[in-house]
Protein backbone atom coordinates (compact mmCIF):
# COMPACT_ATOMS: atom_id res chain seq x y z
CA UNK A 1 0.00 0.00 0.00
CA UNK A 2 1.60 3.30 -1.04
CA UNK A 3 1.24 6.28 1.29
CA UNK A 4 -2.29 7.67 1.24
CA UNK A 5 -3.99 4.60 -0.23
CA UNK A 6 -7.54 4.10 1.06
CA UNK A 7 -9.76 1.05 0.69
CA UNK A 8 -13.05 2.90 0.94
CA UNK A 9 -16.05 1.87 3.04
CA UNK A 10 -16.96 -1.76 2.55
CA UNK A 11 -17.84 -4.96 4.41
CA UNK A 12 -17.02 -8.65 3.94
CA UNK A 13 -19.19 -11.76 4.06
CA UNK A 14 -16.34 -13.49 5.92
CA UNK A 15 -14.51 -12.44 9.08
CA UNK A 16 -11.30 -10.57 8.25
CA UNK A 17 -8.01 -10.52 10.14
CA UNK A 18 -6.13 -7.40 8.95
CA UNK A 19 -2.41 -7.04 9.71
CA UNK A 20 0.45 -4.78 8.62
CA UNK A 21 3.47 -6.94 7.84
CA UNK A 22 5.34 -3.64 7.46
CA UNK A 23 4.41 -0.04 8.11
CA UNK A 24 1.22 1.01 9.87
CA UNK A 25 -2.44 0.46 9.01
CA UNK A 26 -5.44 2.45 10.19
CA UNK A 27 -8.84 0.78 10.20
CA UNK A 28 -11.90 2.95 10.81
CA UNK A 29 -15.51 2.19 11.54
CA UNK A 30 -18.15 4.89 11.90
CA UNK A 31 -17.48 5.08 15.65
CA UNK A 32 -13.81 4.30 16.17
CA UNK A 33 -10.37 3.99 14.61
CA UNK A 34 -7.52 1.57 15.28
CA UNK A 35 -3.91 2.39 14.40
CA UNK A 36 -2.09 -0.90 13.93
CA UNK A 37 1.70 -1.27 14.05
CA UNK A 38 3.20 -4.63 13.03
CA UNK A 39 2.68 -6.04 16.53
CA UNK A 40 -1.12 -5.78 16.32
CA UNK A 41 -3.77 -7.15 13.98
CA UNK A 42 -7.50 -6.41 13.92
CA UNK A 43 -10.27 -8.98 13.81
CA UNK A 44 -13.13 -7.45 11.79
CA UNK A 45 -16.39 -9.42 12.07
CA UNK A 46 -18.32 -10.23 8.91
CA UNK A 47 -20.70 -7.47 7.90
CA UNK A 48 -18.97 -4.64 9.78
CA UNK A 49 -18.50 -1.62 7.48
CA UNK A 50 -15.00 -0.19 7.65
CA UNK A 51 -12.29 1.53 5.66
CA UNK A 52 -8.57 0.79 5.68
CA UNK A 53 -5.83 3.28 4.94
CA UNK A 54 -2.10 3.81 5.20
CA UNK A 55 -0.52 7.17 6.01
CA UNK A 56 2.88 5.85 4.89
CA UNK A 57 4.02 2.89 2.81
CA UNK A 58 2.69 -0.35 4.32
CA UNK A 59 2.23 -4.02 3.47
CA UNK A 60 -1.21 -5.32 4.33
CA UNK A 61 -1.83 -9.02 4.85
CA UNK A 62 -5.26 -10.47 5.54
CA UNK A 63 -6.87 -13.79 6.33
CA UNK A 64 -10.58 -14.43 5.76
CA UNK A 65 -12.43 -16.93 7.93
CA UNK A 66 -15.86 -18.31 7.10
CA UNK A 67 -18.36 -17.49 9.87
CA UNK A 68 -19.94 -20.95 9.73
CA UNK A 69 -16.56 -22.52 10.58
CA UNK A 70 -15.56 -20.00 13.25
CA UNK A 71 -16.04 -20.35 17.03
CA UNK A 72 -15.13 -16.70 17.68
CA UNK A 73 -18.20 -14.69 18.59
CA UNK A 74 -16.76 -11.18 18.76
CA UNK A 75 -19.35 -8.74 17.40
CA UNK A 76 -17.07 -5.69 17.31
CA UNK A 77 -13.62 -5.19 15.74
CA UNK A 78 -11.11 -6.62 18.20
CA UNK A 79 -7.34 -5.99 18.32
CA UNK A 80 -5.19 -9.10 18.75
CA UNK A 81 -1.51 -9.75 19.26
CA UNK A 82 0.34 -10.47 15.99
CA UNK A 83 2.54 -13.49 16.67
CA UNK A 84 5.02 -15.13 14.24
CA UNK A 85 2.70 -18.16 14.06
CA UNK A 86 -0.19 -15.91 13.05
CA UNK A 87 1.94 -14.46 10.25
CA UNK A 88 2.86 -17.94 8.98
CA UNK A 89 -0.78 -19.05 9.01
CA UNK A 90 -1.88 -15.98 7.04
CA UNK A 91 0.75 -16.83 4.43
CA UNK A 92 -0.38 -20.45 4.34
CA UNK A 93 -4.04 -19.48 3.86
CA UNK A 94 -3.12 -17.22 0.94
CA UNK A 95 -2.32 -20.32 -1.16
CA UNK A 96 -5.02 -20.32 -3.89
CA UNK A 97 -4.81 -24.08 -4.42
CA UNK A 98 -5.26 -24.99 -0.75
CA UNK A 99 -7.91 -27.72 -0.51
CA UNK A 100 -10.93 -27.46 1.78
CA UNK A 101 -9.69 -29.84 4.46
CA UNK A 102 -6.31 -28.16 4.87
CA UNK A 103 -7.89 -24.71 4.78
CA UNK A 104 -10.35 -25.66 7.52
CA UNK A 105 -7.52 -27.06 9.66
CA UNK A 106 -5.43 -23.91 9.24
CA UNK A 107 -8.40 -21.63 10.00
CA UNK A 108 -9.07 -23.61 13.17
CA UNK A 109 -5.48 -23.15 14.35
CA UNK A 110 -5.52 -19.45 13.44
CA UNK A 111 -8.65 -18.62 15.43
CA UNK A 112 -7.40 -20.73 18.33
CA UNK A 113 -4.23 -18.66 18.78
CA UNK A 114 -5.85 -15.22 18.55
CA UNK A 115 -5.66 -13.36 21.86
CA UNK A 116 -7.43 -10.00 22.35
CA UNK A 117 -5.28 -7.16 23.62
CA UNK A 118 -6.40 -3.88 25.17
CA UNK A 119 -6.16 -0.98 22.76
CA UNK A 120 -7.30 2.57 23.39
CA UNK A 121 -9.33 3.90 20.49
CA UNK A 122 -9.66 7.62 19.99
CA UNK A 123 -13.22 8.15 18.84
CA UNK A 124 -13.85 11.15 16.59
CA UNK A 125 -17.39 11.62 15.34
CA UNK A 126 -17.95 14.17 12.60
CA UNK A 127 -20.76 16.69 13.12
CA UNK A 128 -23.86 16.45 10.92
CA UNK A 129 -24.73 20.15 11.03
CA UNK A 130 -23.63 21.71 7.73
CA UNK A 131 -21.68 24.64 9.18
CA UNK A 132 -20.09 22.57 11.94
CA UNK A 133 -19.13 19.95 9.36
CA UNK A 134 -17.55 22.67 7.23
CA UNK A 135 -15.42 23.71 10.22
CA UNK A 136 -14.57 20.06 10.95
CA UNK A 137 -13.42 19.47 7.38
CA UNK A 138 -11.25 22.60 7.39
CA UNK A 139 -9.59 21.61 10.67
CA UNK A 140 -9.06 18.06 9.39
CA UNK A 141 -7.19 19.52 6.44
CA UNK A 142 -4.97 21.65 8.69
CA UNK A 143 -4.68 20.23 12.20
CA UNK A 144 -2.40 23.05 13.34
CA UNK A 145 -5.10 25.68 12.68
CA UNK A 146 -5.69 27.13 16.14
CA UNK A 147 -8.60 29.46 15.44
CA UNK A 148 -11.12 29.85 18.26
CA UNK A 149 -14.72 28.78 17.88
CA UNK A 150 -15.75 32.45 17.58
CA UNK A 151 -13.27 32.89 14.73
CA UNK A 152 -14.57 29.77 13.04
CA UNK A 153 -18.11 31.08 13.42
CA UNK A 154 -17.20 34.25 11.56
CA UNK A 155 -15.48 32.19 8.86
CA UNK A 156 -18.57 30.07 8.12
CA UNK A 157 -21.21 32.72 8.82
CA UNK A 158 -22.70 31.66 12.13
CA UNK A 159 -22.31 32.35 15.84
CA UNK A 160 -19.92 30.78 18.32
CA UNK A 161 -22.89 29.60 20.38
CA UNK A 162 -24.55 27.89 17.42
CA UNK A 163 -21.35 26.05 16.53
CA UNK A 164 -20.78 25.03 20.14
CA UNK A 165 -24.27 23.55 20.36
CA UNK A 166 -23.86 21.73 17.04
CA UNK A 167 -20.55 20.12 18.01
CA UNK A 168 -21.88 19.00 21.38
CA UNK A 169 -25.13 17.63 19.95
CA UNK A 170 -23.56 15.83 16.99
CA UNK A 171 -20.29 14.54 18.46
CA UNK A 172 -21.10 14.15 22.16
CA UNK A 173 -18.18 16.35 23.26
CA UNK A 174 -17.31 20.03 23.27
CA UNK A 175 -15.57 21.62 20.30
CA UNK A 176 -12.30 21.84 22.23
CA UNK A 177 -12.27 18.19 23.17
CA UNK A 178 -13.36 17.18 19.66
CA UNK A 179 -10.41 19.04 18.14
CA UNK A 180 -8.05 17.46 20.67
CA UNK A 181 -9.28 13.99 19.73
CA UNK A 182 -8.94 14.72 16.04
CA UNK A 183 -5.37 15.88 16.54
CA UNK A 184 -4.43 12.91 18.70
CA UNK A 185 -5.92 10.36 16.33
CA UNK A 186 -3.77 11.78 13.54
CA UNK A 187 -0.77 11.84 15.87
CA UNK A 188 -1.10 8.15 16.72
CA UNK A 189 -0.57 7.15 13.10
CA UNK A 190 2.51 9.34 12.77
CA UNK A 191 3.97 8.09 16.06
CA UNK A 192 3.37 4.47 15.07
CA UNK A 193 5.27 5.16 11.84
CA UNK A 194 8.28 6.29 13.88
CA UNK A 195 7.99 10.09 13.67
CA UNK A 196 9.67 11.94 16.59
CA UNK A 197 7.26 13.25 19.21
CA UNK A 198 8.37 16.85 18.69
CA UNK A 199 7.67 16.76 14.96
CA UNK A 200 4.29 15.15 15.49
CA UNK A 201 3.32 17.63 18.21
CA UNK A 202 4.01 20.61 15.98
CA UNK A 203 2.26 19.05 12.99
CA UNK A 204 -0.99 18.60 14.92
CA UNK A 205 -0.97 22.03 16.51
CA UNK A 206 0.92 21.87 19.82
CA UNK A 207 3.57 24.45 20.68
CA UNK A 208 5.60 22.11 22.88
CA UNK A 209 6.27 18.41 23.40
CA UNK A 210 5.05 18.63 27.00
CA UNK A 211 1.68 20.14 26.01
CA UNK A 212 1.19 17.36 23.48
CA UNK A 213 2.14 14.62 25.95
CA UNK A 214 -0.21 16.08 28.57
CA UNK A 215 -3.11 16.14 26.11
CA UNK A 216 -2.32 12.58 25.03
CA UNK A 217 -2.26 11.39 28.63
CA UNK A 218 -5.55 13.12 29.47
CA UNK A 219 -7.31 11.44 26.56
CA UNK A 220 -5.80 7.94 26.68
CA UNK A 221 -4.56 7.62 30.27
CA UNK A 222 -0.96 6.94 29.20
CA UNK A 223 1.97 8.73 27.56
CA UNK A 224 2.69 8.20 23.84
CA UNK A 225 5.62 5.91 24.71
CA UNK A 226 3.46 3.76 26.98
CA UNK A 227 0.68 3.64 24.40
CA UNK A 228 2.85 1.76 21.93
CA UNK A 229 4.85 -0.22 24.49
CA UNK A 230 1.61 -1.73 25.81
CA UNK A 231 -0.12 -1.94 22.45
CA UNK A 232 -2.65 0.13 24.33
The alpha helices in 35-159, defined as continuous H runs, are 84-93, 100-113, 130-141, 149-156
Give me the pLDDT at residue 197, please.
Answer: 92
Domains of the chain, with CATH numbers? 6-113 (2.60.120.280), 130-229 (1.10.10.60)
Q: Is the Cα torsion angle 221, 226, 230, 232 positive or negative in sign?
A: positive
The alpha helices in 12-99, defined as continuous H runs, are 84-93
- Point out which residues pair with 79 in neighbouring strands: 42
pLDDT tens digits, 134-181: 999 999 999 999 999 999 999 999 999 999 999 999 999 999 999 999
For residue 215, give the nearest of 195, 194, 200, 231 by alpha carbon: 200
Q: Is the pLDDT of residue 49 over 70?
A: yes
Inter-residue long-range contacts of 154-160, CB under 8 Å, 24+ positions, other chains counted: 156/131, 157/131, 158/131
CA–CA gap between residue 99 and residue 97 (Å, rounded):
6
Give me the pLDDT at residue 30, please.
Answer: 79
Q: Is the pLDDT of residue 227 over 90?
A: no
Amino acid sequence: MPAGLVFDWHAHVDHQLAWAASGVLTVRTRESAWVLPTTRALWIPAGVRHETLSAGTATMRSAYVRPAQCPIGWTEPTPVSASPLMAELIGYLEDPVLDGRRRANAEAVLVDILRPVAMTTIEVRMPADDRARQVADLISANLADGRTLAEWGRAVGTSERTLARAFLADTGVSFGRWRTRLRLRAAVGALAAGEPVGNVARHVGYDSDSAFVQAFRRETGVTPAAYFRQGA
